[in-house]
A and B are shown apart, each in its own frame.
Chain A
Amino acid sequence: MSALALIRSGTPQGAQPFERFVLTAEAWAELPAALLAEPALALLGMWAEPGVVHAGFLDEESGAILFASAPAEGGRYAALSPARPGAIRFERAIRDLWALVAHGAVDDRPWLDHGRWGIAGPMSGNPAPRPGAEPPQPEFLPVEGEGIHVIPVGPIHAGVIEPGHFRFHIQGECVVRLEARLGYKHKGTLSLMLGKTVRAAAAFAARLSGDSTVAHGWAFAAAAEAALGVEPPPRAVALRAAMAELERIHNHLNDWGFVCNDAAFAFPHARCGFLREGVLRACAAAFGHRLMMDRVLPGGVALDIAPGGGEAILAALAAVEQDIPSLLRIYDSHASLQDRVVGTGFLDPGHARRFAAGGFVGRGSGRRFDARIAPGYAPYDLLAPAMAVEAGGDVDARVRVRIAELRGSIVLVRRLLMALPEGPTLAPLPARAGEGAALVEGFRGECLHWLRLDDGGLIRAVFLRDPSWLQWPLLEAAIEGNIVADFPLCNKSFNCSYSGVDL
């Protein structure tokens, strides 16, 4: 039986708009082999509840999204990592949070649990106390060869960035292997959301990754609305999209500048920083918050756009649009900069496909996926945004995807503000049971949120999957064979979220 048919043979649960099928443990155990035979079924994520494991899939041929679940009998389930390398970190996280063991897993080392919480399996429903134990030393994958030496970096880095540990094995100047150890920012976000109403829990989705606060807020709101059968008002949908595109614009400007800066070319950084500041101030004028945090709520948006806010946004975007051609000429015409970005940090398109990497990481290596286009959602079904794809796979390709999206997003914001529907901006929410999911394209890729509500409308189970889960492992592949000095450049071109995956 094909993997797709195997999943669909399970019991449907009535989840909206993407169905979830509950499989028997035996049927789940057949999944790894079936997945190996069916490379077009991409793994989007894995998570758990006490005694149950879940996985999300995307059928790349039809664009269909579906979920599979199975009981973890005796706290064990069949690992998917032998068939999908993207499953490795999810399986490690599931063991740390829900104390469920993936049988036959490629990697069974701890991931989020550094042995410092005082308990083991905090979300297992029955956490085991672990008082005062000495935190174990992390184990890193070994490297063999002559003249290998190790550079440990972090968790605190030299720049103003998030904490994480990078273990470089190098030979001469070249990186032989990079392994990231994350989890330093684990805040127990998912456990704090349980038992709350979706309105109260939205604050956690908005703080999963601050740079994607609109995208995650929207994905969470859309999942909650799907679970409750609520349609957000058209004006709120248009305002959400305008905010999401503004978020894409300010982050892409930031990344473009920082990539140049990491190649010691400061002018684009200064210029992009100034243009971005203009966009953020316009966002503050229009929506009352520079990053537009807590502006998207389940049921709609918290505030309508302020009078004069639209004009402020259009003026800021006009300044950005006017500067892009000359910035691009400067980016293109300096050999010292091109020498650093072209050919650096090459990500094999095969790897991008195998991990189902989204955003500029996937599209920079030829993977044609943008959640706004397929599976698609309102209002993009009417706006029909263009997909920016590059084949190069290097730092330069990822920058060029961003520049193309910058231009596209400016056009989208203009069209959205020009034809803003009239009417209310927030719909009331019923308190009832339901299950929903949503996929929303943030600046760094698709944000997948899933939740299940009990009869009182309180959250019983939830998972927020940042796109970085499927991008971080690829950074380790892309840096291989590059010189250590190019790591900041590669890292910034990926710009994965630490907080987003540390949960």
Chain B
Amino acid sequence: MTPVELAAENGEIVSENLDGAPLALRGVTVSYGADPVVFSVDMTIAAGSMTAIIGPNGAGKSTLLKAALGIVSPLAGRVTCWGKPLESQRKRIAYVPQRASIDWDFPTQVRDVVMMGLHHELGLLSRIHGHHHAKVTECLTRVGMQDFADRQIGQLSGGQQQRVFLARALAQGADLYLLDEPFAGVDAATEAAIISVLKELRDAGKTVVAVHHDLSTVEEYFDRVFLINRRRMGEGPVAEAFTQDALHATYGGRLGDGLVARAG
């Protein structure tokens, strides 16, 4: 383990030498209006880890992810990827937005959506070749959607739509995967399929970060957690950071009890 990770685990605020962590946030504050939604958050994502971002509704989980991707601009703070500015590293990052964030009635097919993942490779005008199609098919196969390639996206179930989004991220061939609520409103089979793909990625040395809301599956799915409730409430390996005390603090008093009991 790198010194940075060790320090992060000890709950220390890691100093400037980020040592090339795939994603590092320092003092990130985001506000949409009168008060901060995310306040002065430090986050260090360890390479090759699979991290769940957890916290109550409205705690700023999705906002944090969007700030990490530069989709919303923070009021203060900075984001680095592998120790370099975010902009220079975009090609190594894949993003899976919340399924509800887009209009699924858009006139396009599953294959086209996954092809969007090849955007950096294709650029403006270069022709789509056989190997591009093969790549798309391969990614669809990995999420079990190869038979739906020519469907209109609006005809898919919620779980199928989520898998298509994951296939698009796979097509990006990135080193860091950021997913916003990938399990929200999906069926059990899809959940299992997604988690197995994510674990494959992790086992291949990629880094995975997901906003997650089901505390009962945290230990089963992830190896690290990041707790947030407007502030950073804890960070580290599941065994150390996913504790009753931390959940109490994050979710607040009684609200936390039921959840903590389930989390064991």
Partners in one complex: no
